[in-house]
Structures are given as structure tokens and as C-alpha cells.
Structure 1
Amino acid sequence: MTTTKTVHVALYDTLSDWEFGFATARLNLPHFQKRPGVFQVRTVAATLDPITTMGGLRILPDTTLDRITPDDSALLLLSGSDTWTTGANREFSAAARRWLDAGVPVAAICGATIGLADEGLLDDRPHTGNAVEELSSVPNYRGQAHFRQERAVRHDKLITAGGASALEFAREILAELDVYEPAVLEAWYGLFSTGNPEWFGKLVAAAS
């Protein structure tokens, strides 16, 4: 019997709605997956009130953060938003600590890395973000020596990326959750990063 695992996508106003789509689409679509139907995506917010994304979309959360624990989750996904720079969303950066302490992956992109920096979660872990200068503006950040100039970094259950690297962010999430065989993941990334249709043939062949 297949056990369904839930990936929780955090919601808050001004959410950067382009940053998680590559990942959530691949988690929901069974095509090419090693174990189709294993993952489901659910949204989680501080309240059940609708949020408005940066693109102007209104989204109703599936649940609230106080109703879930790391045991309920396969991964907590934190996207950017303007609110991270104002010190908001602290409940989600605190949740990220609980998830990591429990050995459950956390994926943070763009402004969400500011929240992790403020929580002290980047002080001793390899990571990336929009820029080390941005993270260094966070008073509690002590992780400059661990910042990597890479599109996305995955280390010990933590995935980080800059806002211009949504595709690489998704690749690392799919790798962490073991959604695809390595050759399938390579071909999928090759197709979407280059647009070369030859990669689609390689994708189909790898999944056969």
C-alpha cells in the first residue's frame, strides 16, 4: 500500500508565486515519477484567511501552521515575499527550525532565506540566497563563511536558492524527495533549462 506524503507550501501575503511552481507541478504530476501518487501538495498559512500573492492571485490555505507538525510533513517549502524583509513570517522561520531538528527537509528561496538567517539556521550550514550582502543585512546572521555562489544549495535536509533560480530550486527538492531516477531528473532539468527538444527524447528514454 502506498503511503501518501505531504509537501507543505507556506502562504503569506505578497508570496512570490513564480518561485514554487516548477516544484509543485512535478510533485503533483505522476509522469516519470518513480512512485506515482506518493506526494501531495497542501498549502499552510498562519490563519485560514485568503492571502494575495505578488502576482495578485488570491489563495485559500488548506490548513494552518498550528495544526501540523514535522511528523505530518515530507517537506516545508518557503517562498519569498516582501514581508520577509519586514521581519514578518517568524512563525514559519521558527517552524523551519522544528522541521530541521526533526530531520524533515526545508526548502527556502529568495526572501525566505532572510527568515532562516534571522532564525540562526544559516550560521553553520552551506547555503545560498539572493546575495550574501542581503543576508548580511540581517543582524542575527553569522553565516557569511558558509554562503555559496550557486543557483541552489542542498545540504543536510536544507535547500536554499536565490529568487532567479526557481528551476534549480525545484531540481534540488525533487532530488531530496527522490521523486525521479537521477537520469530522469537530469533530462527534465536539461529540457527546462535549455528548451532543447532533444532533452525530451532523453527524458522519455530515461523513464522507460
Structure 2
Amino acid sequence: MKKEVLVFIFDGYADWESAYVCSELNAPKTGYTIKTLSLDKKPKTSMGGICVLPDYSVDDFPADFSMLILIGGYAWMEQRNNAVLPLVEYALKKRIPIGAICNAANFMAENGYLDQIRHSGNTLEFMKVQAPHYKGDQNFIEKQAVCDSSIITANGTATLEFAKEILLLLKAKPETEVLNWYNENKSGFYPA
């Protein structure tokens, strides 16, 4: 049976930020399957206009899942996704990896989850503005994506790097395959 990776969606979620990682994890030979989760089970429409019916809500998520992925969107800035906090706490307590990209990284910062670990995000200045309770600036790394303590953070331009870190952390494919996949998608077939 395939292990579930939960992707948190909401109206206005940045659909492209999870596109690479979802398609790779959902591939037949990885041992993983993607399931969507939201605050409720009503259809959610992405920034790109893609309408998705969530598999789970924050009230009925499975007890056993392999990772929680939080993708960006403006709702994080408006604190409309705060009801996902119990699920984040559950994942941390059970030592389930979490990935947070773009404004979702600010959410993690605002709630103290990044204070003691190395992390990234859109910029340090933006993170401080969006997360006034954030105290982890000494651990901020100006890098596309960072993995520390099974928490992966990335800026909004790092969809490939975010995917690469998740694939490596979950050991979804052999490391050489992941790195070849990343380089091919980053650079293309032909040198510039």
C-alpha cells in the first residue's frame, strides 16, 4: 500500500509550487501517493483556476501519513489558514516531515517552528514583516531550499529545489535519479 503525502490546499493556493513534487511522488514506482487536505471538504480553487475537491479536512486526516506539504498563497498572509495548526503540531509530535514554501514558510516562522533550525523563505526581511513573532533570523539561510530537522523550507521561486529536497528526504527515488531529474528540469537538455 502506498504511503500518503498530504498537501494542504485552500482557495488561492499557489498550484505551481507543488506541481513538480506531487507529480514525482505520485509516480507509480515511488511508494507514495498524494492526497489533498483543507480546512473543510468544499472544493478549493487555486491561483491558476484549478478546482480541487480535498480528500481530507483538518478534522478527518489519517493518523498515519508520510509528510505534510504546505504551499504558498495569500491566505497565509491574511492568517486564514491558522486552523491547520493542530495538524502541524500533530506532524511534529509524530516526527512526520513538513515542507513549507513561500508564504507557508512565514506561517511556520510566525508560529515558532523555525526559531531553532536552519531555514529559508522569500527573504529574511519579508519573513520578519509577515511573522512578527519570529525569532529565528540567526538561522535564516539565503538559499532556494533548506532541510533541517525534517522541516523543508523554500522561497516561492524554488519549486524545483523544494521538490528535490522532499524527494531526497523521503528517499522516493535513488539520490542519483533525483539529482539527474533536478538538473534536467533546471537546466534543460541543452546548455545555455
| Structure 1 residue 96 corresponds to structure 2 residue 106 | no
Question: In structure 1, what is the equivalent of residue 20 of structure 2?
Answer: 22
Residue 93 of structure 1 contacts residue 116 of structure 1 at CA under 8 Å; is this kept in 2?
no
What's the counterpart of residue 110 of structure 1?
102
**Paired residue for 1:136, among 128, 131, 139?**
128
| Alignment RMSD | 1.4
Other-structure match for 2:71: 79
Q: Deviation at 1:94?
A: 3.9
Structure 2 residue 160 is matched with structure 1 residue 167? yes
Equivalent pairs, count: 190
Letter in 2 for 1:134: F
Name 2:8's counterpart in structure 1: 10
Q: Of 40, 59, 66, which aligns to 1:66?
A: 59
C-alpha separation in 1, matches of 2:113 and 2:93 = 10
- Contiguous gaps of at least 5 residues in structure 1: 31-35, 199-208
Q: 2:46 pairs with 39, 48, 53, which one?
A: 53
Largest Rg, 1 or 2: 1
* Identical positions, percent: 32
How far off its partner does 1:37 sit? 5.2
Q: Deviations over 1:34-66 (max 9, x none)?
A: xx2511110001111111111112111111111
Q: Once the 2 structures are TM-superposed, how far is the Cα of residue 197 of structure 1 from its aligned partner?
A: 5.8
Which stretches in structure 2 are left out of the alignment for 5+ residues?
none
Aligned 1:25-40 pairs, distance under 5 A = 25-30=23-28, 36=29, 38-40=31-33
Residues 146 and 134 of structure 1, relative CA distance in 2, 3 Å threshold: same
TM-score by length of 2: 0.94
Say if 1:86 and 1:196 are closer, same or farther in 2 by CA, change over 3 A: same
CA deviations 1:2-24 (Å, max 9, x no partner) are: x4210001011110010000000
Moved over 3 A (4+): none
Task: Normalising by structure 1, report the TM-score.
Answer: 0.87
Q: Is the 8 A contact 1:16 1:79 kept in 2?
A: yes
1:128–1:152 CA contact under 8 A, matched in 2: yes
- Between the aligned partners of 1:86 and 1:136, the Cα distance in structure 2 is 15
1:93, distance to aligned residue in structure 2 (A): 3.7
Distance 1:176 1:97 in 2: 20
Q: 1:37 to 1:175 in 2, by over 3 A?
A: closer
Q: Which residue pairs with 2:113 in the alignment? A: 121
